[in-house]
Amino acid sequence: MHDIIIIGGGVIGLSLACELAGEGTKVAVLEKGGIGQESSWAGAGILPPGNPDGARTPEARLRACSHVLWADLSARLREETGIDNGFRRTGGLEVRIGGPVRALEDEVAAWRAEGVTVEPLAGRAVFEREGELHPEVTSAYRLPEMGQVRNPRHLKALAALALLRNVSLMPGTEVHRFELAREKAVAIETSAGRCTAGQFVVAGGAWSGRLLNDIGCPVAVRPLRGQIVLLSMLPTPLSHVVNVGPRYFVPRGDGRVLVGATEEAAGFDKSTTAGGVAGLMDFSLATVPALARATFERCWAGLRPQSADGLPYLGRVPQADNLFVATGHFRAGLQLSPATALLMSQLILGRETRLPLEPYSVTRHAGRRPEFFDQETHSPG
């Protein structure tokens, strides 16, 4: 029997498995599909900065905690597995095309209040950083500590480290239900049969809600489809991550540029659509006209696990004192995975957590159905 079974083999489940196995526990990771092949693989790998000393909101605290862990984690993965996850601090720009010159002043003030280094870029200064941006950029700022990581490489490294630490990886194993007795989870019924463990963690992303709702745990998570386009162009027209509100460009340094992303309430449909891809291409050419000469390589979609308030659920399930949840990270699963793994391992092992977990409680939406579950979200561009 395993000490801990983690349900979900994405970046959250794998990161937590590596953390727990590094503490000497016997861990198994069950995944209904391939290990690391859902939304964790599909994301862009943008890593916003943070400052633990200045973080005041629950989101900022979690982001800041991860920010300080990424460099050491990436070095450790490279040393122990030989896999470079592509982590680097490229810096990032936030820009607006058209509109008022002062459109981003509140965002600049918010970063400064956190103690994060931010550089407002007035006039022609933005084009000194990125000369291929549309000439009608009217407001911009730079975050020099913004980073990025190559999602597929990072997941490959995590899976390799998990195996080195004797984690049992079980792809193709779907979990159907929990078996509860006397306020404990005693087993799970899976496509491979009944599995027992001392403790269980649900880290199944957008699929977590179905499993947890069946035992009365009020976790409100829905899938939100995000489509991404991959372009290729040498020389690469961008050197920074460039954000335009919820949409972005991520230059990989090898000629490839990720362009994302849509936000669509499409259930569990991971299809790419003509409208979604067309919207991303229109956005791409309107923001960086030089990309008209780029080669279209491919497109794909992932299902982000969106919670009702944008914060993940991290903590213990009230129905069973040996059952835990780590899900609902929405677009921030990869960036918040180091902090999530650290905090959840501390909680599971009975230690004091680095951050208080009350803001991420699994019961914070108990007794009410979040309105967003009844709303349609279609943003193909």
- Going through 122-220 in order, the beta strands assigned E by DSSP cover 137-143, 147-148, 168-171, 175-181, 184-190, 193-195, 197-202
Same domain, 81 and 125: no
Domain count along the chain: 2
Question: In which band, very low, low, confident or very high, does the pLDDT at 99 lie, cut at 50, 70 and 90?
Answer: confident
Is residue 75, in this structure, part of any structural domain at all? yes
Whether 244 maps to a domain, the answer reads no
Q: DSSP string of 241-262?
A: EEEETTEEEEE-SSSEEEEE--
Query: Is 26 contained in some domain?
Result: yes
Look at residue 68 and tell me if it is in a domain: yes
Instruction: Please identify, among 144, 161, 178, the residue that sits at the C-terminal boundary of a domain.
Output: 144
Structural domain for 76, as ranges: 2-85+150-221+308-379
Residue 201, in any domain of the structure: yes
Q: Are strands 137-143 and 119-121 parallel, antiparallel or unpaired?
A: antiparallel
Strand 46-47 versus strand 147-148 pairing type: antiparallel
pTM of this structure: 0.94
Q: What is the pLDDT of residues 192-204, one digit of tens each?
A: 999 999 999 999 9
Residues 188 and 313 in one domain: yes
Q: Which amino acid is at 15?
A: S
Give the closest residue to 49 by CA, choosing from 127, 136, 141, 147. 147
CATH code: domain of residue 14: 3.50.50.60
Q: Are 221 and 327 in contact (CB under 8 A)?
A: yes
- Output the pLDDT for position 372: 53
Residues 32 and 122 occupy one common structural domain: no
| pLDDT 10s digits, 361-376 | 999 987 665 555 544 4
Indicate whether 70 and 103 sit together in one domain.
no
Burial class of residue 108 in the structure, from the number of CB atoms within 10 Å of its CB (0-12 exposed, 13-18 middle, 19+ buried) = middle
Q: How far apart are CA 214 and CA 251, in angstroms?
A: 42
